[in-house]
Amino acid sequence: MEQPGEIKKVSMAVIKRLPKYYKCLGNLLKNNVERVSSQELSKILGFTASQIRQDLNNFGEFGQQGYGYNVLQLYTEISKILGLNTIHKMVLIGAGNLGQALANYSEFRTHGFDIIAIFDTNPNLIGRKINNTPIYPVEDMEYFINENDVDIAILTVPKDKTEKVIEVLSKTCIRGIWNFTPAEITTDDIIVENVHLIDSLFTLSYRINEDKLQERLLKQKRKIFPDRR
Nearest-approach distance from CB 26 to ligand NAI, in angstroms = 25
Nearest-approach distance from CB 80 to ligand NAI, in angstroms = 29
For 30-93, the DSSP string reads HTT--EE-HHHHHHHH-S-HHHHHHHHHTT----BTTTBEEHHHHHHHHHHHTTTTSPEEEEEE
Backbone angles phi, psi at 10, to 5 degrees: -80, 135
Question: 138 or 150: whose CB is closer to ligand NAI?
Answer: 138
Which residues have a Cβ under 8 Å from the Cβ of 116 and sit 6 or more positions away? 89, 90, 91, 133, 148, 150
Question: What is the distance between the alpha carbons of residues 164 and 54, in angstroms, rounded to a whole number?
Answer: 43
Question: What is the distance between the alpha carbons of residues 157 and 124, in angstroms, rounded to a whole number?
Answer: 16
Nearest-approach distance from CB 126 to ligand NAI, in angstroms = 10
Question: What is the distance between the alpha carbons of residues 211 and 209, in angstroms, rounded to a whole number?
Answer: 6
Nearest-approach distance from CB 162 to ligand NAI, in angstroms = 7
Question: 196 or 221: whose CB is closer to ligand NAI?
Answer: 196
Neighbours of 25 (CB within 10 A): 24
Nearest-approach distance from CB 84 to ligand NAI, in angstroms = 23
Question: 14 or 185: whose CB is closer to ligand NAI?
Answer: 185
Question: 163 or 215: whose CB is closer to ligand NAI?
Answer: 163
Question: 156 or 172: whose CB is closer to ligand NAI?
Answer: 156
Residues in the site for ligand NAI, rule: CB under 6 A? 93-99, 119-122, 138, 156-159, 161, 164-165, 180-182, 195-198
